[in-house]
Amino acid sequence: MKRQMIAQRKEYGHALVDLGKRREDVVVLDADLSGSTRTADFAKVFPDRFFDCGIAEQNMIGTAAGLASCGKTVFASSFAVFATGRCLDQIRQSVAYPRLNVKIVATHAGISVGPDGASHQTMEDIAIMRTMPNMTVIVPADAPETYKAIMAIADFDGPCYVRMGRSDVPVVTDEGSRFEIGKIQTIKDGADVTLIGVGQMLAACIEASEMLAQDGVSARVLDLSTIKPLDEAMLIKAAKETGAMVVAEEHNRLSGAGSAVATFLADKVSVPVHIVGMDDVFGESGESDELMIKYGLTPENIVESAKEAIRRRKA
């Protein structure tokens, strides 16, 4: 089945404009990348509420904190590698610690940035942000879910980190479905193994479930769009009912969403948890699809991990 392909950042720009029309407290900041992050869409309509901070990401976060302390709902954007790595101290001290209403929305995350190479392919941003006290972490699966996530965090009081990539990604979620922070959505039911997709890897999980079905394996597919807080009840339910779990993410497999799920389940339900993600290496320049294949972020890798998890469960 051929799916519509849309860049998540396109819907981010759309959501910001809609928010600006509804709420005068919304302001948007960027660090000289507004065309790429699509915050330029907001700037065209609300130039008096948009601030380009230039190539000074740390200052952007400090400015965002100041505006939030005065009652504004602030969206601050840049590429993920800059928004998290370059601004870690400012986020920790000026946003997370005082629990200010700053929404850090990062684009161009993961290996799928492609030709920009290792310097721009952040595979550790989820790890950085999920270990930050007071921080909510969201990784939407596609463009429709991105729009709903932005609307949800605008109404949420407190700091948030939203991660998305650069490339067009398949539309796999229902545009009419409800998005709720901290809740997992069931995309497909199944009894033999649970496939948990994070971000654009949800599409790969859906394809993997179809491949497994051809081998007589019934795979449940879950959309883990909120990394923190985890939907603990849904994870326990899936673990008990299927007995085998696979988490697929476009992130370093040592420290991302898969690590969060495995750590949580270790204390609750004894089931094999396999993580399909980037090994502990830096990426390289190349086309997005080529890199996803080279580093094992494919439906085929998910199928292999699912079968191994089932073997471990039976053993």
Q: Along the 315 residues of the chain, how does pLDDT read in single tens digits?
A: 678 999 999 999 999 999 999 999 999 999 999 999 999 999 999 999 999 999 999 999 999 999 999 999 999 999 999 999 999 999 999 999 999 999 999 999 999 999 999 999 999 999 999 999 999 999 999 999 999 999 999 999 999 999 999 999 999 999 888 999 999 999 999 999 999 999 999 999 999 999 999 999 999 999 999 999 999 999 999 999 999 999 999 999 999 999 999 999 999 999 999 999 999 999 999 999 999 999 999 999 999 999 999 999 988
Q: Give the whole-angstrom CA distance, residue 162 versus residue 307.
A: 32
Amino acid at 182: G
pLDDT score at 201 = 98
pLDDT score at 40 = 98
pLDDT score at 1 = 61
* Residue 210: active-site member: no
Structure token digits, residue 116: 């920009």
> What class is the 185-314 domain?
alpha beta
pLDDT score at 3 = 87
Alpha helices in 114-142 (DSSP H): 125-130
pLDDT score at 176 = 86
**Which residues touch 306 (CB under 8 Å, ≥6 apart)?**
193, 195, 208, 212, 217, 219, 244, 246, 274
CATH 3.40.50.920 in the chain, residue ranges: 185-314
To the question of domain 5-170 being in CATH 3.50.20.10, the answer is: no
- Dmax (CA) for the chain in angstroms is 63
Q: Give the whole-angstrom CA distance, residue 74 versus residue 80.
A: 17
CATH 3.40.50.970 in the chain, residue ranges: 5-170
DSSP symbol at 236: H
Sheet holding 273-278, edge to edge: 185-188, 219-223, 193-197, 245-252, 273-278
- Calculate the alpha carbon distances from 32 to 77, 134, 161, 186, 249 in Å: 10, 28, 19, 38, 28
Q: Which residue has the tokens 């394996």?
A: 217
pLDDT score at 2 = 76
Catalytic residue among 11, 24, 57, 300: 57
